[in-house]
Amino acid sequence: METFDILIIGGGPIGLACGIAAKQAGLSHIILEKGCLVNSLYNYPVNMTFFSTSEKLEIGETPFVTTNPKPKRAEALEYYRRVQDKFSLNVRLFEEVLNVEKKEDGQFITKSSKSEYRSRFVIVATGFYDKPNLMNIEGEELSKVRHYYDDPHYYAYQKVVVIGSSNSSVDAALETFRKGAEVTMVIRRDTIGERVKYWVRPDIENRIAEGSIKAYFNSCLLAIRPNEVDIQTPEGRVETIANDFVLALTGYQPDFAFLEKIGIQLSSDDSLIPAHNTDTMETNISGLYLAGVVCGGMNTHLWFIENSRIHADIIMKHIKIKGFATA
């Protein structure tokens, strides 16, 4: 069985940052990633622009040079591939971690879709982008309902309902509208989300005010059928409108079942925050750490690349304090 000091689950920006920190600390490591390198970013909308400026997305003190202050998805993919080339991290792609068990000798045995590994420490950096928050309404299983949005061209000349008013929903509404879709937004609250990028907000507010994009505020979707949807309006009325596609960009959540399966406790409130010491990032299991956006549980807006890059160094510092022996 292959043996490493540190096994990292997830090859996103923070998993890579942990690999770099391990390498710099002289520890052997392996990163197991179930998809491609920075798989979540790869699955973001093709035209997406980060809200962070490029230097805030840097890891391993490697400059992220872009012509515009805020990079686009394609530039981020180039950048993180470049980082991987520079550090030659031990990344295995398209290899999903299925389970992690701590044995009596204190070592972890990690079972993946391809192999088994032994390690002294494990870092879970699995993000939150694989599990969409479901609406649990009639018709959600129809193929015209999408929880991920990629490219606007596909929706040209179609009647599109966009659920929610987060950054993702607003970007999708504006992009598809500009490619000729007839867009209706269905928004639970009475306003556009407060975290919507400041330079995008006037655009969506003006499109709604002029009526080019229709918005139902204080409303929710009740049912989806192949050619129409039912909307519950604040007046208590149910309105039925013709519809071709539903973009249900209702957010995502970490894989809680996986976290529980490997023994990490979740908070008992709605946030389901996985137990960890914020000074060390160690979970309720000694030697098992959390890093990146997964730390926030259902509060997926708490952590992002910008503010969780530091988790890698915090963890490595703690591992050094605990002492380690290369197995």
Ligand X SMILES: Cc1cc2nc3c(=O)[nH]c(=O)nc-3n(C[C@H](O)[C@H](O)[C@H](O)COP(=O)(O)OP(=O)(O)OC[C@H]3O[C@@H](n4cnc5c(N)ncnc54)[C@H](O)[C@@H]3O)c2cc1C
CB of 314 to ligand X, least distance (A): 14
Q: In what order do the strands lie in the sheet with 245-248?
A: 145-146, 245-248, 159-163, 182-186, 214-216
Site for ligand X in 252-281 (CB under 6 A): 258
Phi/psi-derived region of residue 248, left when phi > 0, alpha when psi is between -120 and 50, beta in every other case = beta
14 near ligand X (CB under 6 A): yes
Nearer residue to ligand X within complex by CB, 69 or 226: 69
Phi, psi values for residue 167, rounded to 5°: -55, -45
How many residues touch ligand X (CB under 6 A)?
Answer: 32
In sequence order, what are the beta bridge partners of 246? 145, 161
> Which residue from 48, 54, 59, 102 is spatially nearest to 82, judged by alpha carbons?
59
228 touches 242 (CB < 8 A): yes
29 near ligand X (CB under 6 A): no
84 near ligand X (CB under 6 A): no
* Given 305, 312, 314, 319, the residue binding ligand X (CB under 6 A): 305
CB of 317 to ligand X, least distance (A): 19
Nearer residue to ligand X within complex by CB, 15 or 164: 15
Nearer residue to ligand X within complex by CB, 76 or 187: 76
217 touches 191 (CB < 8 A): yes
CB of 74 to ligand X, least distance (A): 14
44 near ligand X (CB under 6 A): yes
50 near ligand X (CB under 6 A): yes
Nearer residue to ligand X within complex by CB, 54 or 184: 54
How many of the other CB atoms lie within 10 Å of CB of 119? 24
* Given 19, 60, 127, 287, the residue binding ligand X (CB under 6 A): 127
149 near ligand X (CB under 6 A): no
> How many angstroms separate the CA atoms of 301 and 218, rounded?
22
> Which residue from 214, 224, 223, 219 is spatially nearest to 236, judged by alpha carbons?
219
Phi, psi values for residue 63, rounded to 5°: -60, 140
> How many angstroms separate the CA atoms of 128 and 108, rounded?
23
* Given 168, 219, 253, 283, the residue binding ligand X (CB under 6 A): 168
Residue 95, both tokens? 């290899």
* Given 3, 24, 28, 51, the residue binding ligand X (CB under 6 A): 51
169 near ligand X (CB under 6 A): no
CB of 136 to ligand X, least distance (A): 22
Instruction: Please give the biggest Cα pair distance in the chain.
Output: 67
Mapped onto helix, strand or coil, the DSSP state of residue 191 is: coil
33 near ligand X (CB under 6 A): yes
Site of interaction with ligand X (CB under 6 A): 9-15, 32-35, 39-40, 44, 48, 50-52, 96-97, 125-127, 129-130, 168, 258, 292-293, 304-306
